[in-house]
Structure 1
Amino acid sequence: MDKATYLKMKEERAQAIEATKHARESFCYECHRLQKNCLCSFIKPFDTKFKFIILMHPMEAKKEKMGTGRISLAMLKNSGMIMGVDFTEDKEVNDLINDPNNYCMTMYPGEKSINVSEHDVTPIQNLFNDKKNVIVFLIDGTWPCAKKMMRLSKNIRALPRVSFTATHTSIFEIKEQPAEYCLSTLESIHFFIQECNRRGIEQTFKQEDQMIIVFQEMIKFQMECALNPSLSSYKRGSKLGYSKKEDRKKAKKWLNKTRSVILPG
């Protein structure tokens, strides 16, 4: 083999190695994950009487390509997402509120909130009987951001409120929740639909349980990433890759067990 042939073969081998090294893996643009980690096979959309509008903080929208809010959107046929912080002057939000065919509510605790777990739900049932489009707004952001969004958005804050009484703790092990009764966006919607089924104002025939299956797959993936040293999400210094719930210390402001919070971060 002459020198020219040898150098050519060496260059071709180097190019082949470089091409393999930087080869892009297949990407799913539906769930914003690599094809090997795709969640789409678990996502089975279903319909609801309620229309859920998720008000997503810009930070949440950019950071979480397929977080609990986006999984909820993918699962719920009758849903939508509006991004922002202060929705007081938001045209899309105000058009929904001002449409006489709609009856809008905010899922958020309050003294006059209709608790679908405990209160008389006849007023909500009557809305459906009157052929109203019942719209439920949910705030999706970190806990501090959600509080700020609610405070700034005068139109959302002024709406009638709907809530529920959580009877279980969040399964979002890898993420810190301020209190035992705090649920993620997806879990809040799931439990709300469950309670509405129990009270006779929804009929989804347990299709909402698929939301939890997708959620569990998402959590499983995040935990695997936390244990992988080759990824930027690797959590050094912990055998689990994340802290156990019982080992975490709550901030003082969340130690008051009577504090009523439903919406997630």
Structure 2
Amino acid sequence: MKMSCRYCPKCGKAHKACICPLIVSLSSEIELIILQHPTEVSRPLGTARILQLSLPDAHCFTGEDFTRHPQLNQLLSEPDTRHYVLYPGEGAISVNDVPAPQQKTRVILIDGTWKKAYKMWQLSENLHGLPRLSLPEELKGNYQIRKAPREGCLSTVEAGYHLLSVWQPAQDFSPLLSCFEQMIQFQMSHMSPDVRRRYPSSS
């Protein structure tokens, strides 16, 4: 428990890297459900927390297999509510090709490395019957200091930003990206020059 004083109790990051002053509370008709792999909880560069703090109606659950997760299943069973899961691949439909929802809608985001997200998807049988969404392939992420398995991979907060922006174009969700980018720049500024040189896009 002695370690706890080093971290912000709200955002969970070290006090010197606290993102709370960067958070802007945002209104969204679309609710997000974040399924977070346990290894993501304490990552200093984790971005799901930005969504949680910025969107009052967002839900976040931690685990690997959500098949029998009581809170998630309760949400999924709510009547007159449409649920999607953002998970690319065969069978997924681009968010650009889906009309903006006219009823209460939630979208599930899987927060983890691609390998871990794939395992979470496989294990969580209650997700398999939900319609799947994908984001446009041309989108490029700005996660400069975390390796991605291929071009076009987005952080969880970037995925949430693009999804919400497509379906709610009249609303400004740019504070999500602003917070994310400032968090990245803070981390870059505390790296040694030798380490920074590994990330050409930071120059």
TM-score category, normalised to shorter length: 0.7 to 0.9
Residue aligning to 1:239: 194
Alignment of 1:156-167 (within 5 A): 156-167=127-138
Q: Which amino acid aligns with 2:134?
A: S
Cα separation, 2, equivalents of 1:40 and 1:175: 22
Match of 1:98 among 77, 91, 105: 77
Residue aligning to 1:190: 161
Cα shift at 1:34: 4.3
Relative distance call for 1:104 and 1:225 in structure 2 (3 A) is: same
Residue aligning to 2:94: 115
Cα separation, 1, equivalents of 2:197 and 2:155: 18
TM-score (norm: length of structure 1): 0.68
Aligned: 1:60 with 2:40: yes
Answer yes or no: is the 8 Å Cα contact 1:226–1:242 preserved in 2. Answer: no
3-state SS of paired residue (1:106): strand
Residue aligning to 1:176: 147
What is the total number of aligned residue pairs between the two structures?
Answer: 198
Alignment of 1:1-265 (within 5 A): 28-61=8-41, 63-64=42-43, 67-117=46-96, 119=97, 121-122=98-99, 124-125=100-101, 128=102, 132-198=103-169, 203-204=170-171, 206=172, 208-227=173-192, 239-241=194-196, 243-244=198-199
Higher gyration radius (CA): 1
TM-score (norm: length of structure 2): 0.86
Cα shift at 1:243: 1.9
Deviations 1:116-141 (A, max 9, x none): 22x2x33x53xx2xxx3211111001
List gaps (5 residues or longer) in structure 1.
1-23, 228-237, 247-265
Cα shift at 1:164: 2.0
Cα separation, 2, equivalents of 1:156 and 1:145: 15
Cα shift at 1:27: 5.0
Cα separation, 2, equivalents of 1:147 and 1:72: 21
Cα separation, 1, equivalents of 2:139 and 2:131: 25
Cα separation, 2, equivalents of 1:245 and 1:178: 17
Cα shift at 1:191: 1.2
3-state SS of paired residue (2:24): coil
Cα separation, 2, equivalents of 1:157 and 1:102: 17
List gaps (5 residues or longer) in structure 2.
none
Task: Using the aligned pairs only, state the percent identity.
Answer: 31
Q: Which amino acid aligns with 1:107?
A: L
Cα shift at 1:239: 1.7
Relative distance call for 1:221 and 1:164 in structure 2 (3 A) is: same
Cα separation, 2, equivalents of 1:25 and 1:90: 31
Q: Which amino acid aligns with 1:195?
A: V
Cα separation, 2, equivalents of 1:152 and 1:76: 27
Cα shift at 1:76: 1.4
3-state SS of paired residue (1:28): coil
